[in-house]
Structure 1
Amino acid sequence: MFLVVLGGTSLLAVAARRLRPAPELPTLESWAVADRGFGTAITWFLLGGTIYTAYTFAAVPSLVYGTGALGFFALPYTVIVYPVAFVLLPRLWAAARRHGHLTPADFVRGTYGSPPLALAVAATGVLATMPYIALQLVGVRGVLTAGGLYPGGMSGDLALVAVFAVLAVATYRHGLRAPAVISVMKGVAVTGAAVAVWAVVLGRFGGPGPMFTAAGRASAGEGMPQASLMLDPGQFPVYATLAVGSALALLMYPHVLTVAFAAAGPGTLRRTAVGLPAWTGMLGLFALLGVAALAVGIRTPSLGAEDAVPLLVAEVMPAAVTGLVFGAVVVGALVPAAVMSIAVATSFVRNIYVEYLHPTATPKHQTRIAQMVSLVAKAGAVVFVFGLRDQDAINLQLLGGVWILQTFPAVAFGVLARRPHRRALLAGWAAGMAAGTFMVVRGGFSSVVPVGLGGQEMQVYAAVVALVLNLAVVAALTPVFNRLDGPLRAPLRLPPGAETTR
């Protein structure tokens, strides 16, 4: 069953060529955003498949298994983000379609007329996304290893590289159309896996009530994680800031906006945003598997929570369903990894290569460079996974979440009629990046830091603290720069190369 899922995914990736229009001069717009032609159904599958990564489906239940109720912060976070997406994404799409923008940095460049600010947004997006690609492979390898489906030694690494190579070739040739087709398989596989696992788990315990009761007893036992299934009041600040900060950061990732720019129109994005909470329901089912692992009494090596769910699946499920679940995890990694590599490549070409190195690059040349960079991004992720520790990828991803949130003011405020000053935004970005990096590194690469407020110390998400500093700098400096330069009221000139993709 595992091989059937992977084989079917590979065939779908090859079939992506059927979504291509008739042969024409290659353009970056066609490769990166599929000529902005995806309807509601494809956009729903692709955006959901991009947001809900393999690592998400593995990490959230593992966090619930290891820490208890705090791990459920991912559910309100993915609920908060969709009203924001409903309002923000259609406006960004309209500006992108009107001016030929393909990346968030394109939008910032065209809105504020500031190459340094656009470069800051592009570089932050690339830095935050690269470890995210590697993390997909880390999640896949960890799940398959715990489930006994990852051969030891070189053979296992070669198998993972082979699966990734199929994706790399399909993405190189067909661009965003390849992950768009695969995302349909991901949605079907993830839904089937969740339903199958829960049918067995609930049948075993006789319902959710007995399962929670058993989990509560097990978490108090020796050798089990001391995971409280009730949220302690002292955890309220960290729970709330993790949810809000993660929601605001999500829409700033280049791969999320790449999918949004590929939609057929603002109405498509609004309908998609209304339907995306269905993916949150699926994530909720996976998160509850952490509770089920506690109830069953799964013990992980050295209390390594990341192995809890694959060990649970391997223990309670028939072999064929286990293969389906693990196949769904692998497919769940392929979609976001492909979109992330496309987003990184497009940002590099549009906002670094064309802007600073080759302003006269033709559309065909831009496309070729983007295709090569997408391959390099995937190869770099593979080298990173095999050459460094898994914890290094996790640490960099934690930093990436802090970094990407610092681009929120520049991107989100760009849709307003009265916008902050470009130099104030750049200063705020620099302050937020420096403060966020310092807090995370000083805390031993923990994204949760202590903050004193009203004479009391509380734990909060470092990215939110850095964003507050960012916004304070923007608010303080905008009146100063407006007085010196005059306020920015209207969009300025387009970024280099935009005219060739309209």
Structure 2
Amino acid sequence: MSGVNWVQLSIVIVIFGAVTAMGFMAARWRRGGPLESLDEWGLGGRGFGTFITWFLLGGDLYTAYTFIAVPAAMYATGAISGFFAVPYTIVVYPIIFIFMSRLWSVSHRNGYVTPADFVGGRYGSKALSLAVALTGILATMPYIALQLVGMQAVFETMGLGGHNVWAKDIPLLIAFAVLAAYTYSSGLRAPAMIAFVKDGLIYLVIAVAIFYLPHVLGGWGSIFDAAETKLTATNPATGKPVGAFIPGEQGYSAYWTLALGSAMALFMYPHSITAVLSTKNRNVVRRNAAILPAYSLLLGLLALLGFMAIKAQVNVKGLDGIANPQLAIPRLFDQEFPSWFAGIAFAAIAVGALVPAAIMSIAAANLFTRNIYRDFIRPSATPAQEAKVSKLASLLVKLGALVFVLTLDKTLALNFQLLGGIWILQTFPAIVVGLYTRWFHRWALLAGWAVAMVFGTIEAYNVINPATKKHFGGSLANIPFTDKQAYIALTAFCLNLIIVIVLTLVFRALKVPDGQDTTHSTDYTADQGDPGVRDLPEILDEGGPATAKP
């Protein structure tokens, strides 16, 4: 423990303690009733307005691992694997504007808590609903694990690591216990409240870094020159350039498919949909789609920290002696800033892990409760029983992610997170297309999902990392019968769509029953105050008292 930076650690502990207190206090914040239902515990009472939702969605989508992984990708391999995140977050917001307001309406009219609830009601198929639920849980688990990996990178930079198992793991165990406790107690309100602190800290840190670091590193020209020199150098292990400072023509298809596929997949993740369904009316969703691009500016600046780490020649070897590019940004702050400000930056990353991890665990737990426990184990479960099961399931989800991080190679967490994007995109036809038409046959959707899941997993397995020689070495592969690379998730999605269309024609020709649709056309445009839409308290965005609707 002699290498611990106590100034940094003390600041992290103080800020961590403050947000922990906020997490427990959130149980009483903006409550419309007891937390004994999924509407209250898992969706925050479905009453968040524009201001809170902006912070909640930002805290949900821009995670601690975004803070570390995006600039780390820029540091290690350049634009294709790092900067594609900027156009993808720009493309995603029109998707939210168009699709998610319809999902909000049908969910509020019918009391849906999860995307699998909607799929089950739309297609009259518990099998298809189960497939969507299992995919959501499967894709979310490694995402939670990566938040813990991001926290580990911070702890290691502060000196809590190396070969000493206790020094390395105890901080993570404590953080997990605190996260589990206030999530169990307060539900979605806890990450919603903490998101204010998280986003404020990250904006502060990035604003200071983007003005201060270029000054001490010799200016932007010097930073870009250093990045170009490193990324165009030959990698002795492969005989090819280390990365791509500016992608050549051969990288165009990889770049745009990564951006488009990631944008289509982002709001298929259950935690993204959970944040959307927590809003009080459909216009809140649309307004946030219009103002969330401010985070894309933040992400662009954040990505450039990877090039700054190259110029600063940070040491990315961990305390165990193994090179780890994920340490690039924590080491950059540790090296170039005074300890007190580095401590604030590390606190921003740590808090940035807590918010999405909490929302992700709640979303996965809701999927288990509504679409596995209630549909297949206890159909007569009361709202209070559902809330209790979901609370326990959220603990198990976080525990599973913790075990994953503590017992397996971290590169496996990275690889499985890549798989998560491939898997979750295969729910797009059932969810998004289902918001507009029911023409797709339920069994065709199930078949297309199954084939695409297998195809995408095999394709990802066959990608070998040239440096480590391990499988699941990336998310890009050649498009079948071509030499052009593309994001595997988008290739699998196209295969999925072809199968769904062909089998739908076949099943409809054979007059195979396609289930009962329990939704109505008016459900998809319903808004707060319309008949059948849950009567919610009018709660001021600014945090004022709730007043009952007349």
For the criterion TM > 0.5, the same-fold answer is yes
Deviation per residue, 1:241-269 (Å, 9 max, x gap):
11111111111111110111001111000
Alpha-carbon deviation of 1:184? 0.8
Structure 1 CA distance for aligned equivalents of residues 150 and 32 of structure 2 = 38
Partner of 1:436: 456
Conserved 8 A contact 1:418-1:489:
no
SS at match of 1:485: coil
Q: Does 1:161 align with 2:173?
A: yes
SS at match of 2:84: helix
Query: Are residues 477 and 289 of structure 1, via their aligned partners in 2, closer, same or farther at CA, if it must alter by over 3 Å?
Result: same
1:387 to 407, 415, 434: 407
Normalised by the length of structure 1, the TM-score is: 0.93
Structure 1 CA distance for aligned equivalents of residues 138 and 246 of structure 2 = 36
Alpha-carbon deviation of 1:299? 4.0
Conserved 8 A contact 1:219-1:294:
no
Partner of 2:291: 275
Normalised by the length of structure 2, the TM-score is: 0.86
Unaligned runs of 5+ in 1: none
1:211 to 191, 208, 223: 223
Partner of 2:148: 137
Please give the residue correspondences for 1:4-19 in structure 2 after superposition, counting only pairs within 5 Å: 4-19=14-29
Q: Which amino acid aligns with 1:267?
A: N
Q: Does 1:266 align with 2:292?
A: no
Structure 2 CA distance for aligned equivalents of residues 41 and 148 of structure 1 = 38
Number of equivalent positions? 495
Alpha-carbon deviation of 1:155? 3.2
Please give the residue correspondences for 1:14-413 in structure 2 after superposition, counting only pairs within 5 Å: 14-21=24-31, 24=34, 26-70=36-80, 71-148=82-159, 152-205=164-217, 207-219=219-231, 226-301=242-317, 304-413=324-433
Partner of 1:451: 479
Query: Are residues 487 and 362 of structure 1, via their aligned partners in 2, closer, same or farther at CA, if it must alter by over 3 Å?
Result: closer
Query: Are residues 227 and 433 of structure 1, via their aligned partners in 2, closer, same or farther at CA, if it must alter by over 3 Å?
Result: closer
Q: Which amino acid aligns with 1:166?
A: V
SS at match of 2:510: helix
Query: Are residues 207 and 372 of structure 1, via their aligned partners in 2, closer, same or farther at CA, if it must alter by over 3 Å?
Result: same
Q: Considering fraction of residues, name the structure with more helix.
A: 1
Structure 2 CA distance for aligned equivalents of residues 12 and 317 of structure 1 = 28
Which region of structure 1 is more displaced relative to structure 2, 156-165 or 260-269? Answer: 156-165
SS at match of 1:449: strand
Which region of structure 1 is more displaced relative to structure 2, 126-135 or 13-22? Answer: 13-22
Alpha-carbon deviation of 1:20? 4.5
Please give the residue correspondences for 1:418-429 in structure 2 after superposition, counting only pairs within 5 Å: 418-429=438-449
Deviation per residue, 1:440-478 (Å, 9 max, x gap):
11222132112255xx41221111111111000011111
Q: Which amino acid aligns with 2:47?
A: G
Which region of structure 1 is more displaced relative to structure 2, 438-447 or 482-491? Answer: 482-491
Alpha-carbon deviation of 1:298? 2.5
Alpha-carbon deviation of 1:491? 2.8
Cα RMSD after superposing both structures? 2.3
Alpha-carbon deviation of 1:164? 2.1
Conserved 8 A contact 1:216-1:295:
no
Partner of 2:492: 466
Conserved 8 A contact 2:179-2:354:
yes
Conserved 8 A contact 2:33-2:40:
no
SS at match of 2:106: helix
Query: Are residues 295 and 221 of structure 1, via their aligned partners in 2, closer, same or farther at CA, if it must alter by over 3 Å?
Result: farther
Partner of 2:538: none
Which region of structure 1 is more displaced relative to structure 2, 139-148 or 186-195? Answer: 139-148
2:503 to 452, 457, 477: 477
Structure 2 CA distance for aligned equivalents of residues 218 and 380 of structure 1 = 38
Query: Are residues 489 and 229 of structure 1, via their aligned partners in 2, closer, same or farther at CA, if it must alter by over 3 Å?
Result: same
Q: Which amino acid aligns with 1:124?
A: T
Alpha-carbon deviation of 1:485? 3.1
Which region of structure 1 is more displaced relative to structure 2, 205-214 or 5-14? Answer: 205-214
Q: Which amino acid aligns with 2:356?
A: P
Alpha-carbon deviation of 1:300? 2.6
Q: Which amino acid aligns with 1:135?
A: L
Deviation per residue, 1:145-164 (Å, 9 max, x gap):
13535584313312222122
Which region of structure 1 is more displaced relative to structure 2, 443-452 or 406-415? Answer: 443-452
% identical equivalent positions: 44
Structure 2 CA distance for aligned equivalents of residues 489 and 350 of structure 1 = 20
Alpha-carbon deviation of 1:297? 2.3
Alpha-carbon deviation of 1:488? 6.3
Partner of 2:466: none
Q: Which amino acid aligns with 1:450?
A: N
Partner of 1:416: 436
Query: Are residues 402 and 23 of structure 1, via their aligned partners in 2, closer, same or farther at CA, if it must alter by over 3 Å?
Result: closer
